[in-house]
Structure 1
Amino acid sequence: MNIFIYGILKDSEINKLRKKTRHNLGVKIKEIRESKNLTQVDLASRIDGRFDTSNVSRIESGRINTTVFTLFRIAKALDVNIADLLDIEVFEN
């Protein structure tokens, strides 16, 4: 994971970081899902416990912030390590 934080961030910078992190995480999940030829419905049905397809959509589009436990469940459903989901670029060099 490539996260570089310089000094103290302002609230507006933190909000941008949150948004970009959610977006990039969603892109990574979608990329892995599609590489395995799975639809969002397929992925939702593979996730342990009750998980709605609309939640997959919201996570992939970066509209919601998900928990570590949910990321663990998604990683398990995709048969990847959770670190593979978190291997995202947040700040540009």
Structure 2
Amino acid sequence: MEKLEIFKQVGKNIQQIRQSKGLSQVDLVGCIEGNIDTTNISRIEQGRTNPTLLTLYRIAQALEVPLTDLVKDSTTKVAEK
């Protein structure tokens, strides 16, 4: 998977989790500890920026999900045993 595809997948994961919890981007920003703005969340969700590990951790905490949920690759098939 290429770098831009990874950014887009992470952004898609964040957006899906946020929407499943009924949160707007503004709501999410309000739940995040630290200095982050709605514009940055928008860029992350669109896959247009490379968020730091600390930013991803804060987003995961705000969404109340494990960090792995944000970075998982939903296109990878699980091998059958």
TM-score interval, smaller chain: 0.7 to 0.9
The aligned counterpart of 1:79 is 64
Following superposition, the deviation at residue 22 of structure 1 comes to 0.2
**Counterparts in 2 of 1:22-61, with a 5 A limit?**
22-61=7-46
Identity %: 44
- Flag the 1:25–1:61 CA change in 2: closer, same or farther, 3 A: same
* Structure 1 alignment gaps of length 5 or more: 4-16
Does structure 2 retain, via aligned residues, the 8 Å contact 1:75–1:81? Answer: yes
| CA distance in structure 2 between the partners assigned to 1:22 and 1:90 by the alignment | 14
| Cα RMSD, aligned residues only | 1.7
Structure 2: tracts of 5 or more residues without a match: none
User: One-letter code of the match for 1:86?
Assistant: V
Preserved CA contact (<8 Å) 1:21 1:90: no
The alignment's TM-score, normalised by the length of structure 2, stands at: 0.88
Aligned residues: 77
Q: TM-score, with normalisation over the residues of structure 1? A: 0.77
